[in-house]
Chain A
Amino acid sequence: MWQKMRERGREGERERFFWVLIIMLWSCNDSKLSHIPYVPTPYKLEEPANFVKMQIPPDNPFTVEGIALGERLFFDPILSIDRSISCSSCHIPNLAFTDGKAVSTGIDKRVGRRSAMSLINVGYYYKGLFWDGRVKSLEMQALMPVTDHREMGNDWKTVEDRLRRHPEYPELFRRAFGIKRAANIDRYLAAKALAQYERTLVNYNSKFDRVQRGEARFTAAEKRGWQIFFDDTLELPASECGHCHIDPLFTTLGFFNNGIEQINTLNDFHDKGRGVVTGRFVDNGKFRTPTLRNIMLTAPYMHDGRFATLDEVFDHYISGGHFADNLNPNVRKLRIREQDKKDLIAFLQTLTDSTFVNYSALDRHGSI
């Protein structure tokens, strides 16, 4: 009988030891965060009056802490497998969040498929993200670069693990989202924070905007360029640009074939763009119209970076573009002369906003 009791006792001890071990392991890996206060500060974005209203998902409202965390993640190479590349490697603030390359390069100098897109005013792009519009929300988009083998080449399990073990991130996630322990950090919260940061990248302080608000005046050349851009008067030649690059976003966000590629049939596009997303033949070779804001900072141009300069872009549009069954009829031979081109470029220069040169959400939104 004693024998039996002793055995049970030993079993009990073993059991106790097992639990202690589990708890110890648990606490090393997963510190409790409840001692850190969770008092998120709501943030109200200043929106320009003439932009459509930004759609902010109800389950990811702006908070100062969320934006700060998003900014930190955006600039942190911890997201890439070899810790060499951050979002900001391809979306450089001084280049209006593009990378200055025809197509972007990821880890190991892996060559990307398309040109990095400007993230300015990206919170307003409600007709789908990416050149082909394949993704609905910034929250969904933010999950993708990490696992894209041409970009960050990582997997989210690894990233989650790195963030949970990090000396600072658990606290930042706690302050932004009220998680109870480091183990609650996950990809979806990281994506939410990134999306909040990206939605703050609102641009409405270019000279063009100031002219619209009556705070500045166009020079004669800029004004003439503006009139040609928007086909304002029959006395000047029309450029047709405004049909697709309409203000204030300088894009309708519509998907079009603007005739940059020479093809025989709609099957021949090197990159079928929108057609792959919709499965419709007539959408092959269509891409989302990009903004022309900060266009001086975002060369080279088009989804594949085929044009190095605005001069080349204008030569393309003046020619009327390569014919295709779905070439948009607003792309047509133009009677634009050298002087008109110069004035158009003078106008496009008024779309540069230096707010984002050396931009920091932290500075702009107060210290956190």
Chain B
Amino acid sequence: MKNMLWLGMILLLLSASCKDKDSHGQVDINFKSTFDATPLVMFSQIYPYYDNLNLKFQLFHMYLSDVVLIPDDATGSTTTPHTEIALISFKDVLDQSAALQGITISANKIPVGKYKAVRFGLGVAPRFNATNPGNYTPPHPLDDHYWSAMLGYVFMKIEGNSDNDGDGQFTDKLTFHIGDNSLYRTMEFPVALEVKEGQTATVNFGVDLRRVLAVGPDDFLDPRTVTQDHTSNPDLYNYLYNNLEQAVKIKQ
């Protein structure tokens, strides 16, 4: 009888400590896209740009790799993995409500505790960029957007139209498809995030498509002269990708 009591207590202790170790919460990382301050909606919405030009869009996407959270008490390189690879695509954002919802990547096995930063690679990490859709069963972020002639993924796509002659018809075409290992870079954002057992904590990001196309009124991609790039013109693709890095902002 005594033995049984001891056994019971040990079991209780064990289960309690296990439970503590195993307790998890969910972390949602949300991206909303805007054009300047206006929510980005594909097809229908007209966006005033610089020099009295107006633009419309049909596609905007970017890839993120190795999304991790950095624990508050992290020493050295301790990180908590969130998502290995994600396609953040605004292709199906076709109305205001979808724009306000944004695109979310979730992970529900994040250990409870405090986190001080979110870190990710902007683009397709080189080890993924060395693969191709043949390595994946759809649906998978890497089942598409592979450009075989360049042996790599298109990290960022922007497709849309401009109305260069101001007649109200958006007949001028814009297509920018950019991806290369040399463009891959890591970004880190400080956060004050607390993950609680069984609850969802959210980190919000914004990405301003106007900032991708332009630095400001005196320095912008001019759709009257530049209408496309297939990662062929280094000045142009570096300009756009450096801009993308600046366009991604955390909103707390």
Residues of A within 8 A of B (CB): 48-53, 55, 126, 227, 230-234, 238, 240, 242-243, 246-248, 252, 280, 282, 323, 325-326, 328-332
CB-based contact A231/B230 at 8 Å: yes
A341 to chain B, nearest CB (A): 19
CB-based contact B148/A247 at 8 Å: yes
**Given A53-B136, A329-B174, A252:B149 Cβ within 8 A:** no
Encoded as 1 (CB less than 8 Å from any A CB) or 0, chain B from 63 to 104 comes to 000000000000000000000000000000010000000000
| Among B94, B169, B232, contact of A323 (Cβ-Cβ < 8 Å) | B169
| Count of B interface residues, CB-CB < 8 Å | 33
Residues of B within 8 A of A (CB): 42-44, 58, 94, 132-134, 136-139, 143-144, 146-149, 159-161, 169-171, 173-175, 177, 227-228, 230, 232-233
**Given A52-B138, A55-B138, A242:B171 Cβ within 8 A:** no
What are 22 A-B pairs at a CB distance below 8 A?
A: A53-B134, A53-B136, A53-B138, A55-B137, A126-B138, A230-B147, A231-B149, A233-B232, A240-B175, A242-B149, A246-B146, A247-B148, A248-B148, A280-B94, A282-B43, A326-B58, A328-B159, A329-B160, A329-B174, A330-B173, A332-B227, A332-B228
How distant is the Cα of A50 from the Cα of B149 in the complex, in angstroms? 13
How distant is the Cα of A329 from the Cα of B223 in the complex, in angstroms? 13
A33 to chain B, nearest CB (A): 36
Q: Which residues of A contact B148 (CB under 8 A)?
A: 50, 230, 246-248
Q: Which residues of A contact B44 (CB under 8 A)?
A: 282
Main secondary structure of the interface of A (DSSP, over half): loop
A52-B137, A246-B146, A328-B159 are known contacts; what are 13 more A-B pairs with Cβ within 8 Å? A51-B133, A51-B134, A52-B134, A53-B137, A126-B139, A231-B149, A234-B232, A238-B230, A240-B175, A247-B148, A329-B58, A329-B173, A331-B173
- Measured CB to CB, the nearest residue on chain A to B162 is A329
| Among A48, A242, A332, contact of B134 (Cβ-Cβ < 8 Å) | A48
- Measured CB to CB, the nearest residue on chain B to A249 is B133
A150 to chain B, nearest CB (A): 31
For B139, B144, B173, which residue has the most chain A Cβ atoms within 10 angstroms?
Answer: B173
B167 to chain A, nearest CB (A): 11
How distant is the Cα of A329 from the Cα of B161 in the complex, in angstroms? 7
CB-based contact A329/B159 at 8 Å: yes
How distant is the Cα of A55 from the Cα of B148 in the complex, in angstroms? 22
Q: Which residues of B contact A126 (CB under 8 A)?
A: 138-139
CB-based contact B147/A242 at 8 Å: yes
B86 to chain A, nearest CB (A): 18
How distant is the Cα of A242 from the Cα of B132 in the complex, in angstroms? 16
Q: Which residues of A contact B171 (CB under 8 A)?
A: 323
A249 to chain B, nearest CB (A): 9
How distant is the Cα of A247 from the Cα of B151 in the complex, in angstroms? 12
How distant is the Cα of A280 from the Cα of B160 in the complex, in angstroms? 18
CB-based contact B159/A50 at 8 Å: no
Cβ-closest 4 pairs across A and B: A329-B173, A230-B149, A53-B137, A50-B134
A116 to chain B, nearest CB (A): 25
CB-based contact A325/B173 at 8 Å: no
- Measured CB to CB, the nearest residue on chain A to B139 is A126
Q: Which residues of B contact A53 (CB under 8 A)?
A: 134, 136-138
CB-based contact B132/A50 at 8 Å: yes
A58 to chain B, nearest CB (A): 13
| Among B143, B175, B227, contact of A52 (Cβ-Cβ < 8 Å) | B143
